[in-house]
Structures are given as structure tokens and as C-alpha cells.
Amino acid sequence: MKVAWAGSRETLELSDRMAKLVANDPVFEKFTRPMLGRKELFKNTLRKAAHGWKLIVDLRLTEEEAKWLRLYIDEPAYTDLHWGMFIPAIEGQGTEEQKKKWLPLAQKMKIIGCYAQTELGHGSNVQGLETTATFDPQADEFVIHSPTLTSSKWWPGGLGKASTHALVYARLIVGGEFHGVHGFIVQLRSLEDHSPLPGITVGDIGLKFGNGAYNTMDNGVLRFDHVRIPRNQMLMRVSQVTKEGKYMQSDVPRQLIYGTMVYVRQTIVVDASKALSRAVCIATRYSAVRRQFGSRNGGPETQVIDYKTQQSRLFPLLASAYAFRFVGEWLKWLYMDVKQRLEANDFSTLPEAHACTAGLKSLTTTATADGIEECRKLCGGHGYLVSSGLPELFAVYIPACTYEGDNVVLLLQVARFIVKTVSELGYKQPVGTTAYMGRVATLMQNNCAVRTAEDWLNPGAIVEAFEARAARMAVACGRQLAKFENPEEGFAELASDLVEASVAHCQLIVVSKFIEKLQQDIPGKGVKQSLEILCYVYALFLLHKHQGDFLAVGYLTPKQALLANDQLRTLYSKVRPNAIALVDSFNYTDHYLGSILGRYDGNVYPKLYEAAWEDPLNDSDVADGFHQYVQPILKQKLHSAKL
Ligand SMILES: CC/C=C\C/C=C\C/C=C\C/C=C\CCCCC(=O)SCCNC(=O)CCNC(=O)[C@H](O)C(C)(C)COP(=O)(O)OP(=O)(O)OC[C@H]1O[C@@H](n2cnc3c(N)ncnc32)[C@H](O)[C@@H]1OP(=O)(O)O
Ligand SMILES: Cc1cc2nc3c(=O)[nH]c(=O)nc-3n(C[C@H](O)[C@H](O)[C@H](O)COP(=O)(O)OP(=O)(O)OC[C@H]3O[C@@H](n4cnc5c(N)ncnc54)[C@H](O)[C@@H]3O)c2cc1C
């Protein structure tokens, strides 16, 4: 199962080596992190990032090894944005000449870059950005300017203190004409002493949610006062500005300017399975350690993992972690395919890649954020201790529902894609993830054939149920929209229904990709069978949770929905004996998990007890401040009898 989870034996071995390298290096200790003040915390992150880079250079790690190393260091840092957005943006939107100039500098870390798109006044609405880049043909330069307070760049990770350069998204103005938002490489700080260059105001935006957590990152604010950059620092793969001041659009679609977001959304889906599996690993191991009630004749109490309620909350999350792992793997393939096509100037699959990355980013991050919080509750009171690892994981993870596109805004993008597909059904055969809509007539007509709970253990029955629900919801939205004279007004009015239809479409993708994965050769005794059980758990849990949809569209009867729930209970009993093995298969070190409750050896109580004494409050028996603030109260002479 470890191999199935990792994707291949090579990946398992490579990631295992990197995990151990980090775990055994005292520089990457993270237990004291939540107790550090902001300045110490940030400096500590810089120290870890520098040590990580030294290891990458000294040990001549490959790009793949370096990625795993950064992952296991497990501390959000400016390097995430440098490697994760700045470099990919240049790769995707730069010309060959620009790539030749900037990529070696960035890859050797001679410069540090961030991705400066969002502003104080606009994030979701990228076309509403206010920063301007005005071409000055006399000087052959762009003048980058922040005309208003709301045009201040606000949020970019790594911008506040670390970056020397930024990829700045600004409205292009040539010859007095606006040409939409484009990307520009702008140097922010001196490469000698790191001080901001003339015309640049830059700093950190302040503390964020949670103790420690994402505060290791210097999310920044940035303003430009007529800052000049050479013309060739506009990324010019999509469109060009000539020396003479002529704006030229190439054959490449404008949407490629958003290409970095497609790339990062794809990586976020892969990361969702990592975050959720960490939380599930902690909650599952602890649920096997924790005992409450049910002692008979003085025997041990019941392990809480044996309670059906605990199983019905925990096992769907375990199944979701696996589901997100496999859909992430598929999405990575889809992205690589699109990337290759784009390089060959084939843009035909870009809209689907956009819809899939947007929709799956939204679905997986929402489920993961909610799932981490559920895992905290599954661990009872001890889950609220920072040493459980769950509060910090939650605090670090939740902004994933917002960054790289607010999850609702992204589902509305999926809705546009679905509505367009439905409206074209008469003359265009849908392909890829919308191919099922090509069978819309059958899907609208046929109803579920399930008669017994066992009938639900059938991939065909499950896929058809999810397809029928998604198709019927999409068609219903299409019909409602057709009643509006103005389609945009209709879209705005029906937005909530459209979002629900998008969720149904995205859930279908995840379920289908899990089922497709099971059609592959999966070596290892019992591995495939265990994955089949998890796949059914994932699908039937969703069906149970959203049974209102399946009933409302008329595909299921209430009896069939009840049978699905009956089957789900049986499946939980099948997951139970393997639950610990299924989380051990994630192959996480105790260092990466960072949780006393999730320790591999299960030695929870002694270690919790030990850790309590390491809290700075326990440095002395009598607290600082006692004599000043508490003792006077204890010693006060009360005048009123009532008091
Ligand atoms: C070792 C390290 C490795 C990895 C680390 C990597 C990454 C880090 C990982 C984890 C995260 C860590 C840190 C967090 C980083 C966070 C960074 C950010 O948040 S960057 C800022 C992100 N901002 C957004 O996402 C903004 C969201 N808004 C938008 O995307 C768009 O503006 C919009 C919502 C799509 C609105 O567009 P709208 O439709 O109003 O208008 P347009 O005219 O702009 O679009 C029309 C047309 O374009 C199509 N389209 C839109 N977007 C895309 C796209 N991305 N790709 C392709 N096509 C797109 C749209 O569908 C329309 O098509 P049409 O209908 O006309 O066919
Ligand atoms: C931790 C973190 C790191 C970040 N890193 C970066 C970075 O490195 N670089 C960068 O450029 N940016 C970064 N961002 C910014 C991030 O990308 C934006 O915050 C995000 O895209 C959401 O945009 P917004 O803040 O404008 O939200 P808003 O759009 O203001 O959202 C507010 C509310 O309005 C709703 N809403 C908005 N538009 C619509 C609509 N059309 N229909 C219905 N509802 C709508 C949303 O659903 C939400 O509920 C980061 C943000 C965070 C939190």
C-alpha cells in the first residue's frame, strides 16, 4: 500500500530518504515553533530555508529530491513562492530569450522572486487590478505605478522581507490605450544590501491566523512610485510591445497569462491529500489508543475507533485522502499533457484544464480544511493541544480555501464551463471530463437499478448515479438560465444552484478517477481489495451526504438511498481491521506528523505528560506576575460583608 500511495517504488524510496534526512537533522526541529515570537519565528524560517538550500547544493539533490526536502521541512517559506510560482510563471509566460536570462538566475537563487498579483482592493477580479505599466517609447521602458491605496500589492508570499524581485501583474497602457493585465519582472531590492530600490515601498502585512502556522511567511505589501523597468521585462510569450510602441497579440490565447494559476491549483490538489492524510493519520492512530466506556468485568474500555459514530466520521476522511491522492495523480497527468500541447501551440484542452484544476482545487481544499477540523474533534480534548499537531495543521491549511482563487469563485468558473457544454450539446460532442453529458438523454431517462445493499458494490451503478445527478443538475440549471433574457443576469441570480451543479460535476470526477485507478494493475496482496473498499466508502459517503440531490433529481428512490447507507455501515466494518495499516502506508515520519497523538509507537500518555513540563509556564513553580497581580488579590482586606 505504501507503493500504491507513493505512486511507485522509486518515489517511495526517494521521498523516504528525504523525510529521514529532514527528520534526523536538528536544524529542522519544529516542536518549539508555536512558542516563538514573530521575529524569531521568521528568522528561524530563514535559517531552515538556508540550511535546506545548502543540503540541496552540497548533496547535489535533483529537482524532485529538492521538492520532497522542502515538503518535509514543513514550514511555509518564501522558497515556496520562488520555486512554486515565480519560476513557473517565467517558464510559462516568458519568451525563449527571457527564460534564458531569468531562469538560471532564479534556479541558482541569485535572485529571489515572488508572485505579486493580488492588491488591497482586488484579488478574485484579476481584470480589476489597478497597478499600471505605462510604456514610454522614448526611454524604451515601462513605468510601473500604484495610482491608489487600493492598488497596493497585498498578500504575495515572500514579498514582505525576502524577495529581491517580483512578478508584478499590472494593466498595460501603450499609447494611452489599455491592453489588460500582463506580467512584469520588477526588481524590488538591491542585490548588494537588500534595501528597497528607489520608488519601492515594501513590507510585511502583519500577523495572520494562528500561533506560528503561516506566520513563517512574509506576505507582503508593495507600492510603486513611477518605477522604471526595461521593455524586455514584460513577459512576452502571450503578447508583445515593440520598441516603437506597438502592441501585438500572438496566436497564444490571452488566458495563458493565468497559466501559473492552473499549474499551482494542480499542485494544491496533490497537497490536499498530504494535509488530509496527516490529520487522518493522527486521528486514526489516536482513536486506536484512546479508550472510553464499555469496560466489562474490569476489562479494558472500548477503543474509540470501534464506535460506529467515530468510524462514520473518520473512515470517509481516510477514503477521501486516498481519493484526493489518485485524482491529484490524474490531474498532474492532465496538466503535463496540456503543458506539452501548449508548447506545440495546441490550446484546445486549456478550457478543460482550467475547469478541472479550478473545480478540484475548490473541492479538495474545502473537504481537507473541514476534514482537519473534524479530526481535531475526533481526538476529543487532546486534539486541541498544539502538541497534537492538529491546530497548526488547520491554521496553516485553511487559507488554501482562499488563495489561488476563492473556492466559490472557482466553482463559478466550473459552472460557466458546464453551462457552455450543455448549451453546445446539439452540435458539439463533449469530451474529457464532460463526455458523460453526451449521454444526457439516457442519463435523464434511466433511473437507478439498485435493489439490495450489495448492488451498490458495483462501480457501474455508482458512476451512473453520479453521472445522472451531475447531468440532471446541469441541465436543470441550463433550463432555468434559458428563462432569462440576459444570460449574465441569469447566471448571477442562479449562482448558488450553479455552484451545487459544479460540486456534483467535480465529485463525479473524483469518484470516476478512483474507479479508473482500480482498473489498473495494483500489485501487493490485498492492496487492491482494500482500495476497492475505500473507493466504495468514498462514493457511498458522498451519496449519503448529498442524498437530497440524488432524490431531488429523481434518480434515486428513498429506499435506494437507505440501501446505500446500509452498505456504508458494512464497509466501515471492513475498513476497521486495516485502519492503522492504511494510515501507516502514508509513510510519515514522526517529525513530519509533528503530533504526540499520532506517534507511530502509540506511546501517547507518557509523552503528553512529558511535553506539558516543557511549556515555558512550567519553568518555575510560581508564575512570573504572581506576586505583582495575584498575591495582592489574595491578601486584600474586604470591607463589604457581601463581597
Ligand atoms: C517546492 C514548491 C512546490 C510547490 C509549491 C507551489 C505552490 C505553492 C503551493 C501551495 C500554496 C502556497 C502558497 C500559496 C500561494 C498562493 C498564491 C496566490 O494566491 S496567487 C493569486 C491567485 N489569484 C487568483 O487565483 C485569482 C482568482 N481569479 C481568477 O482566476 C480570474 O480572474 C477569474 C476568477 C477566472 C475571473 O476571470 P473572468 O472570467 O472574470 O474573466 P476573464 O476575462 O479574466 O476570463 C475569461 C475567460 O478566461 C477563462 N479563464 C479564466 N481563468 C483561466 C485560467 N486560469 N486558465 C485558462 N482559462 C481561464 C475563463 O474560463 C473565460 O473563458 P471563456 O468563457 O471566455 O471561454
Ligand atoms: C495565505 C495567503 C497567501 C496568498 N498568497 C498570494 C500570493 O503569493 N500572491 C498573490 O498575488 N496573492 C496571494 N494571496 C491572495 C489570494 O490569492 C486572494 O486572497 C484570493 O484570490 C481571494 O481573493 P480576494 O481576497 O479578493 O477575495 P474576495 O474576492 O474579496 O472574496 C470575498 C468574498 O466575496 C466572494 N466573491 C468574490 N467574487 C465573487 C463573485 N464573482 N461571485 C460570488 N462571490 C464572490 C468570495 O466567495 C468571498 O466569499 C494570498 C492569500 C492568502 C490568504
The domain limits of the chain are 2-75, 112-250, 260-582
Catalytic residue, chosen from 392, 404, 467, 532, is 404
Q: Which of 131, 215, 265, 406 to mutate to test the pocket of ligand 2 (most atoms within 8 A of CB)?
A: 406
Per-residue confidence (pLDDT) for residue 93, from 0 to 100:
94
What pLDDT does residue 593 have? 98
Residue 155 alpha carbon to ligand 2 centre in Å = 10
Quick one: which of 165, 235, 233, 230 has its CA closest to 200? 165
Looking at domain 112-250, its CATH architecture is: Beta Barrel (2.40)
pLDDT, tens digit, 9 for 90 and up, residues 581-602? 999 999 999 999 999 999 999 9
Whether the predicted pLDDT of 640 surpasses 80: no
pTM: 0.97
C-alpha cell at 113: 522572486
DSSP state for residue 242 in the 8-state scheme: -
Pocket of ligand 1 (CB under 6 A): 67, 70, 80, 83-85, 115, 117-118, 123-124, 126-127, 157, 255, 258, 261-262, 264, 267-268, 271, 350-351, 354, 403-405, 409, 413, 416
Residue 641 has pLDDT above 80, yes or no: no
Cα–Cα distance for residue pair 444/422, rounded to 1 Å: 13
| Whether residue 203 has pLDDT greater than 60 | yes
Q: Mean of the pLDDT values across residues 302-319?
A: 98
Distance, CA of 56 to CA of 53 (rounded, Å): 5
pLDDT at 460 > cutoff 70: yes
Q: Is the model's pLDDT at 404 over the cut of 80?
A: yes
What average pLDDT does the segment 295-304 reach? 94
Per-chain mean pLDDT for the chain: 97
User: What is the CA angle 518-522-524, rounded to 5?
Assistant: 135
Q: Name the nearest CA neighbour of 335 among 357, 361, 309.
A: 357
- Global ipTM: 0.96
Q: Where are the beta strands (DSSP E) in 175-312?
A: 177-187, 200-204, 220-224, 227-230, 239-241, 247-249
Question: In this predicted structure, what is the pLDDT of residue 638?
Answer: 76
Per-residue model confidence (pLDDT) at position 642? 61
| Residues 205-222 pLDDT 10s | 999 999 889 999 999 999
- Of all protein residues, the one whose alpha carbon is nearest to atom 44 of ligand 2 is 409
Those residues whose C-beta lies under 8 Å from the C-beta of residue 322, and which sit 6 or more positions away, are: 5, 273, 514, 531, 534, 535, 538, 582
**SS3 per residue for 62-104:** CHHHHHHHHHHHCCCCHHHHHHHHHHHHHHHHCCHHHHHHHHH
Question: Ligand 2 pocket test: which of 82, 155, 265, 361 has the largest number of ligand atoms within 8 Å of its C-beta?
Answer: 155
Q: Which three cell numbers stand for residue 221?
A: 505589501
Calculate mean pLDDT across residues 269-279: 98
- Per-residue confidence (pLDDT) for residue 548, from 0 to 100: 98
Task: Write the pLDDT tens digit of every residue in 623-634.
Answer: 999 999 999 999
The CATH number, out of the four listed (1.10.3720.10, 1.20.210.10, 3.40.50.150, 1.20.140.10), of the domain defined by the range 260-582 = 1.20.140.10
Grid look-up 476563492 returns 406
Distance CA 38, CA 452 (A): 58
Hey, what CATH class is 2-75 in? mainly alpha
- Answer yes or no: are the C-beta atoms of 613 and 621 closer than 8 Å: no
404 belongs to the catalytic site: yes
CA distance 131 to 150: 9
pLDDT at 211: 80
Residue 481: CB atoms within 10 A of its CB come to 19
pLDDT for 643 beyond 60: no
Quick check: 84 pLDDT over 70?
yes
Residue 513: closest CA among 274, 230, 161, 273: 273
pLDDT exceeds 60 at position 301: yes
pLDDT per position as a tens digit, 25-55: 999 999 888 899 999 999 999 999 999 999 9
A 10 A CB-CB count for 344 gives 7
594 Cβ below 6 A of ligand 2: no
**Same fold? 112-250, 260-582:** no
H or E segment and range at residue 169: strand 165-174
